[in-house]
């Protein structure tokens, strides 16, 4: 049974159709990459899955439960964790404290359990040595790791990663990819929106391409990237991001 099944999902803001009849399924432990030009509706798809935005039509089933109208907080408790394109850590708190907040509020757990989870997540994301560093003093790569750690703190079954590789140097990107592989090895399903396609290709099993709110391709990464339609759109991405 898929961990996530989206059927005929649509969302519009006034006349602007941002999500247009999107269907997709994700198997447990699977990693799906999502690409597409700016404004294609990728972040909106995450908002719909996480529950911060509600669709005009269609359904979302997570782990066997219809969550289409469920509030975001309940979805988080059920096991949907997400990172944000623009990280907002509590900069006056340490790395450990930032993760602990997510572990304590993102799920129903005792204090002791939350502390254990926070330590495990710091280990998983390679941040253990930075546990006592204030978030405001972390490097960009470390802030990206923290953004992922905060999303993992609630012990999600599905992790939504929104453009976390942007701005990193090549060696840093390789390190981030390793951290995501570690997360995957724990059995967490992943959907990763990313413009840095080569980083995606190192991790994901499948790629879905969005354009003007529609899913226009979905399949084996190299086959998808090789298709002419995607190549045209990908050129658009390269143009938009230098």
Least spacing, CB of residue 36 vs ligand ATP, in Å: 6
Query: Directed axis angle between helix 170-185 and helix 111-124, to 10°?
Result: 130
Interface characters, 2-21, with ligand ATP (x: CB under 6 A):
-----------x--x-x---
As beta bridge partners, residue 6 has: 24, 60
Does 90 bind ligand ATP (CB under 6 A)? Our answer is no
Confirm if 43 and 162 have CB atoms less than 8 A apart. Answer: yes
Among 4, 32, 35, 43, binds ligand ATP (CB under 6 A): 43
Among 42, 82, 144, 206, binds ligand ATP (CB under 6 A): 42
Query: Directed axis angle between helix 95-105 and helix 111-124, to 10°?
Result: 130
Between CA 178 and CA 126 the distance in angstroms is 10
Does 55 bind ligand ATP (CB under 6 A)? Our answer is no
Among 39, 58, 166, 236, binds ligand ATP (CB under 6 A): 39
In the structure encoding, which two tokens stand for residue 195, read together?
């413009």
Does 23 bind ligand ATP (CB under 6 A)? Our answer is no
- Choose between 122 and 168: whose C-beta lies nearer to ligand ATP: 168
Residue 101 Cα to chain centre, angstroms: 19
In the structure encoding, which two tokens stand for residue 204, read together?
């994901």
Residues that bind ligand ATP (CB under 6 A): 13, 16, 18, 36, 38-44
């Amino acid at each position: 049974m898929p961990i996530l099944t989206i059927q005929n999902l649509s969302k519009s803001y006034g006349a602007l159709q941002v999500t247009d009849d999107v269907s997709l399924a994700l198997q447990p432990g699977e990693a799906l990459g999502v690409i597409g030009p700016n404004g294609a509706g990728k972040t909106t798809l995450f908002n719909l899955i996480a529950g911060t935005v509600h669709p005009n039509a269609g359904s979302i089933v997570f782990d066997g439960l219809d969550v289409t109208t469920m509030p975001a907080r309940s979805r988080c408790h059920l096991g949907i964790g997400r990172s944000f394109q623009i990280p907002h850590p509590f900069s006056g708190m340490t790395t450990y404290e930032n993760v602990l907040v997510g572990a304590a509020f993102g799920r129903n757990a005792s204090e002791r359990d939350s502390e254990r989870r926070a330590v495990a997540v710091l280990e998983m994301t390679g941040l253990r040595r930075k546990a006592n560093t204030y978030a405001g003093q972390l490097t960009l790569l470390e802030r990206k790791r923290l953004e992922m750690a905060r999303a993992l703190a609630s012990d999600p079954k599905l992790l939504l990663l929104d453009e976390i590789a942007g701005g990193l140097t090549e060696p840093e990107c390789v390190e981030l990819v390793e951290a995501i592989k570690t997360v995957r090895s724990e059995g967490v399903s992943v959907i990763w929106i990313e413009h840095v396609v080569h980083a995606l290709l190192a991790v994901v099993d499948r790629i879905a391409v969005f354009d003007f709110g529609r899913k226009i391709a979905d399949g084996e990464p190299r086959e998808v990237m090789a298709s002419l339609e995607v190549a045209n759109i990908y050129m658009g991405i390269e143009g938009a991001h230098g």
